[in-house]
Structure 1
Amino acid sequence: MAKSSIKLRAKVKNGVTTVKALMSHPMETGQRKNKKTGEKIPEHFIQEVVGTYNGKVVITTSWSGGVSKDPYLSFSFKGGANGETVTVSWSDNKGGSDTKDVKIKGKK
Structure 2
Amino acid sequence: MAKSSIKIRAKAKGDVTTVKTLMTHPMETGGRKDKKTGKLIPAHFIQEITCKHKGNTVIAALFSGGVSKNPYLSFKFTGGAKGDEIELSWSDNKGGSDSKVAKIK
Q: Which TM-score tier does this pair reach, normalised by the shorter chain?
A: over 0.9
Per the alignment, in what secondary structure is the counterpart of residue 61 of structure 2?
Answer: strand
Q: Unaligned stretches of 5+ in structure 1?
A: none
Corresponding residue for residue 92 of structure 2: 92
Q: Aligned residues, how many?
A: 105
Q: Please state how far the C-alpha of 1:97 moved relative to its aligned partner.
A: 0.2
Deviates more, 1:91-100 or 1:78-87: 78-87
* Correspondence list, 1:1-108, <5 A: 1-105=1-105
Moved over 4 A (4+): none
Root mean square deviation, CA, Å: 0.5
Deviation, 1:82, is: 1.1
TM-score w.r.t. the length of structure 2 is 0.98
Q: CA deviation at 1:62?
A: 0.5
> What 5-or-longer segments of structure 2 have no aligned partner?
none
Shift of 1:40: 0.4
| Secondary structure in 2 matching 1:35 | coil
